[in-house]
Amino acid sequence: MSLKYNHLVDLNDYPVSWWNSLISLAQDIYSNPTNYSHVCDGKIMATLFYEPSTRTQMSFQTAMIRLGGSIIGFDNPANSSVSKGENLKDTTKIVSNYADILVIRHPMAGTAKASALTADCPIINAGDGGHLHPTQTLTDMFTLMQEKGRLDHLKIGLCGDLMNGRTVHSLCKALSCYEGNEFVFISTNELKMPSYIKDILTAHGCKFTEVFSLDEAISQLDVLYMTRIQRERFNSQEEYLQQKDTYILDTKKMSHAKSDLIVLHPLPRVDEISVDVDSDRRALYFKQAKYGVYIRMALIITMLDNKSKTTLLKGRVHNGLHCDNPKCITSTEKYLPMSFMGDGTTVICEYCDERKLTD
């Protein structure tokens, strides 16, 4: 279904060679930015942000402007016709006729895929609820290449809200495709990595361990990826408060880490990294945010080329079967075709990856 355009919904829809060529292009743009300043002359990028954002939205906008293109969009759906009740399908249809490329962020899982179904231009997923965040992962991979010189044989600790953090889901899926990577998941019991991500790692033969203590894990790591507790994804303030402040990376903990550890964070930081750590040369999160502009420039150029076409729904449309995940886009946009992967007693929703028993 929808073979008209190439879309970036999930990085794993593309082969590793595609990611690697994006990173090489970003490296060239980083070294020779002026060579690219007119590549997108006359092109328009729309950013539809139904959720707050600083880095993702502004780095996309900066990327397009640095390529010579222009930008339109909203960062608050309350100021658009969404507030009058317009559905995702209609907003996407209209804006994708104004723009050459559309970047979307939304609180519901599966939104980028849902909007790509009706779009008349390529769609880029800039975060769909707690599900995926492929362009943050490209930023993280570009940072790893620049700072570690490789994407394989790394021991990566991921710490914080592993259940709701979309950045860590996309990152693990991508890094599991490179040889010899090992993961240490550092979280409380309540905020563990979802099992569908662990299943992907197992299928790729990647080793992973789950631990509670950051103190115990830190000395073994090549990369420490800190994340904030995702307050907006909790059902109650009480549940959030129970989790808040569990992990704080400070200079004392850093003193146990390897001298060539790098500390990454997609940002925004709340209080999970003490500000004293910022002056440690291993703290690379601000540089990481800057690298995000170059990889997004590479992505915009590549997507506008429109060489490949994306198959959006690969599974089977099951009439009468619904996804049980209340955070799935299909729970609010009722017209969407319900498509599931698998034929057995357990099927997987193609929008949000949630499993469902069929009997």
**Residue 335 near residue 89 (C-beta atoms within 8 A):** yes
The closest of 132, 199, 197 to 170, measured between CA atoms, is: 132
171 vs 338 by CB, closer to ligand NCD: 171
Q: Which CB sits closer to ligand NCD, 68 or 77? A: 77
Four-point Cα dihedral 316, 341, 355, 338, nearest 10: -30
Pairing of strands 101-106, 44-49: parallel
**Least distance between ligand NCD and beta carbon 73 (Å):** 16
Binding residues with ligand NCD: total (CB under 6 A): 12
Pick the closer one to ligand NCD by CB: 104 or 338. 104
Q: Is 157 in the site for ligand NCD (CB under 6 A)?
A: no
56 or 302: CB nearest ligand NCD: 56
Could you tell me the smallest distance in angstroms from the CB atom of residue 159 to ligand NCD? 13
Residue in the shown chain whose Cβ atom is closest to ligand NCD: 266
CB 184 within 8 A of CB 209: yes
Q: Does 266 bind ligand NCD (CB under 6 A)?
A: yes
Q: How far apart are CA 156 and CA 222, in angstroms?
A: 6
Rule CB under 6 A: say whether 273 interacts with ligand NCD. no
Asked if 69 touches ligand NCD (CB under 6 A), the answer is no
Rg over alpha carbons for the chain, rounded to the nearest Å, is 20
Q: CB neighbours of 178 closer than 8 A, spacing ≥ 6?
A: 16, 151, 152
- Closest separation in Å from C-beta 352 to ligand NCD: 16
Strands 316-317 and 346-349: unpaired
Least separation, in Å, of the C-beta of 228 and ligand NCD? 5
Residue 56 touching ligand NCD (CB under 6 A): yes
**Interaction of residue 201 with ligand NCD, rule CB under 6 A:** no
Pick from 170, 218, 179: which is nearest to 197 by CA? 170
Q: Does 169 bind ligand NCD (CB under 6 A)?
A: no
When asked if residue 136 is in the footprint of ligand NCD (CB under 6 A), the reply is yes
Check binding of 166 to ligand NCD (CB under 6 A).
Answer: yes
Q: In what order do the strands lie in the sheet with 339-341?
A: 316-317, 339-341, 346-349, 355-357
- Decide: 297 and 37 in contact? Cβ < 8 Å: no
Q: Which is nearer to ligand NCD, 167 or 310 (by Cβ)? A: 167
Under DSSP, is residue 209 helix (H, G, I), strand (E, B) or coil?
strand
Q: Copy the structure tokens of residue 229.
A: 């507790």
Instruction: Kindly state the tokens that stand for 24.
Output: 């090489």
We find the least distance from the C-beta atom of residue 78 to ligand NCD, in angstroms, to be 19
Q: Judged by CB under 6 A, which of 69, 110, 127, 157 binds ligand NCD?
A: 127
Q: Segment 217-256, which members bind ligand NCD (CB under 6 A)?
A: 227-228, 230
Residues that bind ligand NCD (CB under 6 A): 55-56, 127, 133, 136, 166-167, 227-228, 230, 266-267
